[in-house]
Structures are given as structure tokens and as C-alpha cells.
Amino acid sequence: MKGSLDISRLKSWFAEKKRDLPWRQIASPYAVWISEVMLQQTQVSVVIPYFLDWMKRFPTPYHLAKASLDEVIKTWEGLGYYSRARHIHEAAKELVERFNGQLPSEEKELRKIKGLGPYTVGAILGFAFHQKKAAVDGNVIRVLSRYFGIEEDISKGATVHQLRQLAEALLPDEEPWIISEALIELGATVCQRKARCDECPLQESCVSFNERSVDRIPYNSKKVKNEFLYRSVAVIACRSSFLVKRGKKGAIMSDLYEFPYFEISKGEFSSKQLEAKIAENYALEVIQKKILMQVSHSFTRYQVQLYPILFSCCELKEIEGLDWFTHVSLKKLAFSSGHRRILQQLSGDRVD
């Protein structure tokens, strides 16, 4: 994996085409850290309002460390992959305890902080501390694989390690962070999964373009197979309160709230069946009030179809693992994306 990059052309392209992003205006170690974690598996357009709100609520690691986990999760609500938020919260406490609330500028120390992987460490060192350190994410892997015609499997750790070494070797001594960020920008806006080669400043010297192999590079042998889930959701109201459950620690939806639901097979949704499940599992007598709009959502490898029904009951009965909250209180809790859309269908009026 050897070669060279037209640094001058890439740098000129980046100066002209780079997007005006809020974290580029701040570029403090803390802002770089937060933005890079938010951007993992999330589109820039989605991240921008979350980043601005986050920095307003938690302008420093000290503010973040003092916040409750519930407040942090609620602020993150809608970004998905909530383990990122939990790791950031824990890391902020560690920064306050060990580093006076400041991110260290040494790679060895950064790697000890919870949730900071090779990419995030590289981004902080490069973009915030202006060290000659590459930040190699999926965008950079795609750009370098295509540019140099690298056909090795990017699902293999050895391939990714070699690509990281290549990226670092390509960085110039003068302003290396600009080229590192330019590679990310090129992958995000031009060298996308469906490449826009006509807009690429490196087209002339790109091996994959010249060999017409862009569509099959990079090669990834691990294709994620989606799994489909179908769930009937019981939205149970008693006067102005609703029954919900909080995701257990370690579960996919850890610390997030959802209405109680039951797994069903495709095409088996039945309001009578759901009513029977409520009686069997919660010993609640309910009255069906309204069939709510179906909701589709996804997380990790799952595609989920939710079938919610609004019921009323006469007793605020204590049920293990579930809690009653008023509609006003529910709005202050962090819900999983699909169940948040169910919540948005409720007016908060009494239904009994």
C-alpha cells in the first residue's frame, strides 16, 4: 500500500468546497470530541442541531460531569446508539477527576479514556491539537481504498490498520490536520458509496476511476443482514397517567423509556390478542379507546414495525418493572425513537 496524493489539489479543493460546520468554528478539544462522537453513523444534517443544543447545555466537561445520566440521555434523544452518550458522560467524570476537566494532548492518555477509539483519538489530536495524526473513518477508508485501488477486505482488522498507516504517511508536515479533514470531507461529499467522480479533485490519479473499479471498491465481506421485528404496543392510560417501562442496564434500549409491547409474527396483529396479553401479564382490565397509527423504526440491524393501541383502565396498579407517569412527565423522559413517535400521537387528555 504505497503511493502519493496530490496534496496541493486536495487542499485547494477543501478550501473552496468545505462545509461551514459549527464544530469547525470552535475547534476546541471538547467540541471536536463531542462532534466526532455524534457524527459516528449519523448524518451531518442530523447532528448540527444536536451539537448546538449540547454545547449550550453542557459547554464544558465540568457541566457534563455534573449532569444526571437522565439529562444526558434526554439531550441525546433521537441520535441513536445511546451507548455513545453514556460513554461521553462517564468520560467527562473521568476528565474532571484525573485531568482538571481537560482532554489530554497525549495519545497514550487519550486511549485510556472510556469510549475513545482510534478514530476519535486521531481526530482530537489532529483537529484540536494540530498534531500529525490521521483520523481514519469510513469516509477515509473509502477514499484511500479507491484512490490506491486497494481491494483487500476492509472488514479485516489488518486491512484497516494498514489504511491507518497509509493515511498517516500521506499527511504533510505542514498543516497535516487540513489534509486529514479534507480526506474526510471528500469521502462525505464526493467519494460516497455512490461515487460522484466528476466532482472529484483527485479523479485523474485515482486508480479505481481509471480501472473502472469504483463500484466494487472498497470490498467488505461482512454484509449486515437486517432482521425484521413486529410488536403490538399497549398504550395504557389511567386518568392522565400512562404506563411505561425503562430499558434495563446493558440492554439495547438501556435507560430509554418505551410503552409495554409484545413480540408478534408478521400479519398476526390483533387488538383482542393484545388485550388478552395485558390481562395475562399485568392483570389489568382495559378498554380499547383507539387504534393509533403504525410506526416503523430501526436500530442497529433491526427493522421494527410497531402496532400501538390506546387503552384506558380504572386502576393505577403497581406493576413490577413498569411505572406510571403523567403525560407532562413523559415529555421529560428519553424515549426510543419508535415509541417517541407513538407518544407524539397522544394529546395528554384523560381517556377514561
Active-site hit among 36, 185, 258, 275: 36
SS (H, E, C) 281-315: HHCCCEEEEEECCCEEEEECCEEEEEEEEEEEECC
Which of 127-147 are b and which e, b meaning 16 or more Cβ less than 10 Å from the residue's Cβ?
bbbebbbbbbbbbbbbbbbbb
CA 325 to CA 334: how far, in whole Å?
13
Residue 198 neighbours by CB under 8 Å, 6+ apart: none
CA 61 to CA 136: how far, in whole Å?
25
217 in Cβ contact with 152 (< 8 Å): no
309 in Cβ contact with 290 (< 8 Å): yes
35 in Cβ contact with 47 (< 8 Å): yes
How crowded is residue 168: how many other Cβ atoms within 10 Å of its Cβ? 17
Asked if 36 is an active-site residue, the reply is yes
304 in Cβ contact with 231 (< 8 Å): yes
* Alpha helices (H) in 58-156, listed in sequence order: 61-66, 69-76, 83-99, 107-110, 118-123, 138-147
SS (H, E, C) 23-48: HHHHCCHHHHHHHHHHHCCCCHHHHH
Distance of CA 168 to the CA centre of its chain: 26
CA 336 to CA 110: how far, in whole Å?
31
Residue 304's closest CA among 243, 254, 255, 261? Answer: 261
Distance of CA 146 to the CA centre of its chain: 26
Residue numbers annotated as active site: 36
